[in-house]
A and B are shown apart, each in its own frame.
Chain A
Amino acid sequence: MADSAAERRSPAAAYAARFEAASAGGGLRLAEIPFLTQVDLRVDPKSPAAERIGTAIGVPLPVEPGTVASGGDLEVLWLGPDEWLVLGPDGAAPDLVARIAEAAGGEHVSVVDVSAQRTTLAVAGERARDVLAHGCALDLHPRVFGPGRCAQTMLARANVILVAGEDDVRVLVRSSFAGYLAEWLLDASVEYVAGG
Chain B
Amino acid sequence: MLLIPCPWCGPRDEAEFHYGGQAHIAYPDNPAALSDEEWARYLFFRDNPKGPFAERWSHTAGCRRWFNVVRDTATNEIHAVYRVGEPRPVTA
Contacts and interface: CB of A to CB of B under 8 A. Distances in A.
B65 to A, nearest CB: 6
B12 A137 contact: yes
A137 B63 contact: no
A154 B16 contact: yes
A157 B10 CA distance: 19
A161 to B, nearest CB: 10
B46 interface: no
A146 B10 CA distance: 16
A80 B64 contact: yes
A81 B8 CA distance: 8
A81 B65 contact: yes
Interface in A139-171: 151-154, 157, 159
A65 B16 contact: no
Interface residues of B, number: 12
Contacts of A153: 12, 16, 61-62
Majority secondary structure of chain A interface residues (helix, strand, loop or mixed): strand
A66 interface: yes
Majority secondary structure of chain B interface residues (helix, strand, loop or mixed): loop
A157 B15 CA distance: 9
B65 A80 contact: yes
Interface string A71-88: 000000001110100000
A88 to B, nearest CB: 22
B34 interface: no
A152 B62 contact: yes
A154 B61 contact: yes
A81 B16 contact: no
Given A65-B8, A66-B9, A151-B9, A79 B63 contact: yes
Interface of A: 65-66, 79-81, 83, 137-138, 151-154, 157, 159
Interface of B: 8-10, 12-13, 15-16, 61-65
16 contacts: A65-B8, A65-B9, A65-B10, A65-B63, A80-B8, A80-B65, A83-B64, A137-B12, A138-B12, A151-B62, A152-B63, A153-B12, A153-B61, A153-B62, A157-B15, A159-B61
